[in-house]
Amino acid sequence: MNRLLFLILFAIGACGQKTPNNESDAKPNIVFILADDLGYGDLGFLGQQFIETPNIDRLAKEGMFFSRHYSGSPVCAPSRSTLLTGLHTGHTPIRGNSEVQPEGQLPLTDSVETLSKIFQRAGYVTGAFGKWGLGMNGTSGEPINQGFGEFYGYLCQRYAHRYYPAYLWENGQKVDLPGNDWTKKSTYAPDLIQAKTLEFIEKNKEKPFFLFMPIVMPHAELAAPDDELFKKYKAKFGEEKPHVAPQGGDYGPEMRISAYQSEANPHAAFAAMVERTDRFVGEVVKKLEELGLAENTLIVFTSDNGAHREGGADPDFFDSNGPFRGYKRDLYEGGIHVPMIVKWPAKVKAGSSSDQVSAFWDWLPTFADILGEPEPAEIDGISLLPSLLGESSQAHHDYMYWEFHELGGRQAVLQGNWKLVKYQVKDSTKTTLELFDLAKDPGELSDLAAQNPGKVKELEALIGQSHLPNKVFSLFDQ
């Protein structure tokens, strides 16, 4: 073969080969948006009548909605622990909001596998912006030790009760906020966190990235800037009964960081915070579109647990838990059944939905599957990638399990449409058992335990085998 013919044939062959820069082969960017205490019914496309959420509604229209998705826990830290580790609350290391003084929560161990570490091994740039709650700076649980190359926000979820904190944390360094000193309120922390989030996307536009956005809103306290959003809802709701904080709630010399401030317009403040969350979602989508990244970016939107009632919040007024019973801290549906949307233009059918029963611990194996990376042994999650791609090969959970260590101890198990809820588990003389058929009774109004003793016994056995003892988080009195 002469040299000219060889070069021609080589060029033809090379043109037919896929290269790493081919868009269909490029690693997808992942954006995981986690709202805080947002109820199932707080979104427009799920029936919210008072609050506008056009950007999240658009995500649902352009992506897939999972109608039976569950958070990892009915409270913050353990819910995040299940998300990162792929382990439900009977197995995950952090099972409660255990506080550390003077600041922070009990840290994740550095030996635990997390989905963010998997992203790093796959060559991704990783960043987390918002509320952490899984370990302070200098501990095994700080973000840099759990697979995040960049962090900006609240390391301590107790400090995240305050929207005008004196400081935030950036990559292990304390950053003072202008005009804020626990007595004066000038700088609204979520806006600074959002700016850092958009900056992360901009500076990593040439690399595959995993962006974790644990947004603080609309967690109490009720606090919104006096901008056009707040004014809009003040006009909508008119004069309100104010929320008056107990001693130590308001900013000033006697302020307790863990408390919540007074709010003259609690409904307006809550609505403005939810719509601000929606605005942040829209800004991220717009940034991705402007940079030409939207087609190859998978976006997840969900909430860490159900609607809360702290600090003057009024979920009954907003019908925040939608058709469900219960609130944050409950293992009824209202505490753990959360909205979940996935948009991935290249792969997920727009306007689709799935009734696949799924939970936070499914995300680690799902992302490992997408990346082609091995998942840890003996995790509780299953990959949701077949559901995302509309394939029939989707695996299913035999059952799902939750436990909660406060309020006397609570456990729940879901198998098919049968759900067993067990309260006051720390004191066997007070323990209650309720059985519900969610297909007929999604609001969990009719307890069928007395009529189905065999099913109760069967599900109780699943509860028993799902809980592994934990020295720090003891579910039962010793």
DSSP 53-91: -HHHHHHHHHSEEETTEE-S-SSHHHHHHHHHHS--TTT
Q: For position 26, what pLDDT does the model report?
A: 81
Q: For position 477, what pLDDT does the model report?
A: 61
The count of structural domains within the chain is 2
Contact partners, residue 286, CB within 8 Å, separation at least 6? none
Determine the distance from the C-alpha atom of residue 179 to the mean position of all C-alpha atoms in its chain, rounded to a whole number: 30
Distance CA 283, CA 276 (A): 10
Contact partners, residue 408, CB within 8 Å, separation at least 6? 423, 424, 425, 426, 427, 430
Query: Is the bond preceding residue 460 a cis peptide, omega within 30 degrees?
Result: no
Q: For position 16, what pLDDT does the model report?
A: 36
Do 226 and 351 sit in the same domain of this protein? yes
Strand partners of residue 8: none
> Judging by DSSP bridges, how do beta strands 297-303 and 29-35 pair with one another?
parallel
- Does residue 19 form part of some domain? no
- Does residue 341 form part of some domain? yes
Q: For position 294, what pLDDT does the model report?
A: 98
Do 293 and 178 sit in the same domain of this protein? yes
Do 178 and 276 sit in the same domain of this protein? yes
What are the pLDDT tens digits along the chain (478 aa)?
444 333 333 343 433 333 333 344 589 999 999 999 999 999 999 999 999 999 999 999 999 999 999 999 999 999 999 999 999 999 999 999 999 999 999 999 988 999 999 999 999 999 999 999 999 999 999 999 999 999 999 999 999 999 999 999 999 999 999 999 999 999 999 999 999 999 999 999 999 999 999 999 999 999 999 999 999 999 999 999 999 999 999 999 999 999 999 999 999 999 999 999 999 999 999 999 999 999 999 999 999 999 999 999 999 999 999 999 999 999 999 999 999 999 999 899 999 999 999 999 999 999 999 999 999 999 999 999 999 999 999 999 999 999 999 999 999 999 999 999 999 999 999 999 999 999 999 999 999 999 999 999 999 999 999 999 998 898 876 4
Do 327 and 424 sit in the same domain of this protein? no
Do 412 and 379 sit in the same domain of this protein? no
Residue finishing a domain among 346, 374, 397: 397
Do 426 and 453 sit in the same domain of this protein? yes
Distance CA 293, CA 286 (A): 10
Determine the distance from the C-alpha atom of residue 171 to the mean position of all C-alpha atoms in its chain, rounded to a whole number: 21
- Does residue 471 form part of some domain? no
- Does residue 474 form part of some domain? no
Structure tokens at 211: 């962006």
Residue finishing a domain among 362, 397, 432: 397
Q: For position 17, what pLDDT does the model report?
A: 35
- Beta strand spans in 145-227 (E): 150-154, 167-170, 173-176, 209-214
- Beta strand spans in 158-268 (E): 167-170, 173-176, 209-214
- Does residue 227 form part of some domain? yes
Among candidate residues 214, 229, 274, the one with its CA nearest the CA of residue 42: 274
Go through 404-439 and write b for each residue having 16 or more CB atoms within 10 A of its CB, e for each that does not: bbeeebbbbbbbeebbbbbbebbeeeeeebbbbbbe
Residue finishing a domain among 397, 418, 436: 397
Is 450 strand, coil or helix? coil
Q: For position 478, what pLDDT does the model report?
A: 47
Contact partners, residue 226, CB within 8 Å, separation at least 6? none
Distance CA 361, CA 78 (A): 11
- Does residue 12 form part of some domain? no
- Does residue 20 form part of some domain? no
DSSP secondary structure code for residue 102 in this structure: S
- Which CATH number do you get for residue 408? 3.30.1120.10
Structure tokens at 278: 């929606």
Find the distance separating the first CA and the last CA of the chain, reported in whole Å. 83
- Which CATH number do you get for residue 156? 3.40.720.10
Parent domain of 140? 26-397
Do 378 and 419 sit in the same domain of this protein? no
- Does residue 425 form part of some domain? yes
